[in-house]
Structure 1
Amino acid sequence: MSVFYPSDLAEGRTSHAVHGMLTPQRALHRLLEGTGLAAHATADDAFVLAPSGEDPASPQAQGMPLARQPYDALVQSHVRQALCARPALALGTYRLAMSVQIDSTGRVRRARLLDTTGDRQRDTAIVDALRQVDIGRAPANPEKPFVLLVRPVQCEAGQRCASPCDAQRGQP
């Protein structure tokens, strides 16, 4: 399992040991009890930590004008566009966690991969593509990085897998 969170979110917090036969998800939730943090699933095997009561994955921004979309959705959308614009970086075939920091002008100031896609050239090209991203407006806190997870597309045997880039290109 992957659990993503900004390091300052964990500062000053203490969790309790977890014992027993639990699923990894249940163990994580029990570990976080009383810390003021909650785990939100972004995939079957990936979670993002946030203060209790906040769900970073809940805003459904599709169809909203850009100016009204939650900022996290804007970052995700622009990163997707940047990666889909380069066929060698097309989404759907690799898993990757990344961190991007947006400056006060709305441009990516810092981009780094938190793991690898398994292809060094692709990793370098992804960082290069991320450094070109312009969100168009500044985040509320330019010092706080955004963590994104790219997952491979899972398909049934014999079925054509649709890439997350296909919808952006208008393909079924």
Structure 2
Amino acid sequence: MEDGYAAQANSSAPLDFDIPTQPLAAALDQFAATSGRSALFSSTLVVGRTASPVHGRYTPSDALRRLLEGTGLVVEEVTTGSLSALVVKQASPELVASAATQRAAAQDRVRAYDSLLQARVWAALCADPEAARQDYQSLLRFQVAPSGRVTDAELLDSTGDRRRDAALVSTLRRVQIGRSPPPDLVQPVTLLILPPQDGGPVCAEKAE
């Protein structure tokens, strides 16, 4: 007999999830509370397993798949009439191996995009006289649209200079990464700017 949650009406709208690494049973409880979706599972199946963290905006089914990454379990969506349930079950060995390969490839894509993103942002900041000054620290947050353009840029920690703060946000809003973000990129993106002596990038000196 399975434990879990009774099936509810299907909902595939993206939602904001903030589920940390924790025992799988507790993570499934939090998933259900956030999504309002059913999650049917055997209590013996989840014992001793740890959920992967899920932070960002996803559909319930995508969020649950991310939550189950690395657990050896998979989710299957079962629909009967107007009702649907997300059923958690044991993955086949072949599927586990395939999932591990896909996770590694996804991580490689995110690392490559993260490097590109930082390079594009820093090039834009170095091109602005106010933003290029190297004597400040700041914290920025932004989204990357499917077009590759930076959106929703905001300053989380002031540099101590209003003019420079405005230059940072204005410059960031004009950045075009040039490629769509991979689906596994966690958004919004947070960027910490440090002075060079603290490990921050250095803008190249312009030729006279």
Q: TM-score range by the shorter chain?
A: 0.5 to 0.7
Higher relative CO (Cα under 8 Å, sequence separation at least 6) belongs to 1
Aligned residues: 114
**In structure 2, distance between residues paired with 1:163 and 1:103:** 25
Residue among 160, 166, 172 paired with 2:204:
166
Q: Which runs of 5+ in 2 are unaligned?
A: 1-15, 23-49, 54-68, 71-102
1:114 is displaced (CA, Å) by: 1.3
1:91 is displaced (CA, Å) by: 4.8
Matched, 1:149 2:187: no
Q: Is the 8 A contact 1:83 1:91 kept in 2?
A: no
Superposition pairs for residues 48-127 of structure 1, below 5 Å?
70-127=112-169
**In structure 2, distance between residues paired with 1:81 and 1:137:** 16
**In structure 1, distance between residues paired with 2:118 and 2:201:** 16
**In structure 1, distance between residues paired with 2:150 and 2:201:** 25
TM-score (norm 2): 0.45
Partner of 1:136: 178
TM-score (norm 1): 0.53
1:92 is displaced (CA, Å) by: 2.4
1:13 is displaced (CA, Å) by: 5.2
Q: Is the 8 A contact 1:91 1:163 kept in 2?
A: no
Q: Is the 8 A contact 1:112 1:127 kept in 2?
A: yes
1:154 is displaced (CA, Å) by: 2.1
Q: Which amino acid aligns with 2:192?
A: L
User: Per residue, is there more helix in 1 or in 2?
Assistant: 2
1:12 is displaced (CA, Å) by: 5.3
**In structure 2, distance between residues paired with 1:147 and 1:163:** 16
CA RMSD of aligned residues (A): 3.9
**In structure 2, distance between residues paired with 1:36 and 1:128:** 36
Q: Is the 8 A contact 2:20 2:52 kept in 1?
A: no
Deviation string 1:45-67 (CA, Å, 9 cap, x unpaired) is xxxxxx99x9xxxx8xxxxxxx9
Q: Which runs of 5+ in 1 are unaligned?
A: 1-6, 15-33, 38-50, 60-66, 156-161
Q: Equivalent pairs: percent with the same residue?
A: 37
**In structure 2, distance between residues paired with 1:36 and 1:102:** 23
Change (3 A) 1:151 1:107: same
1:94 is displaced (CA, Å) by: 0.7
Q: Which amino acid aligns with 1:106?
A: G
Q: Is the 8 A contact 1:101 1:144 kept in 2?
A: yes
Deviating 4+ runs (over 4 angstroms)? 34-37
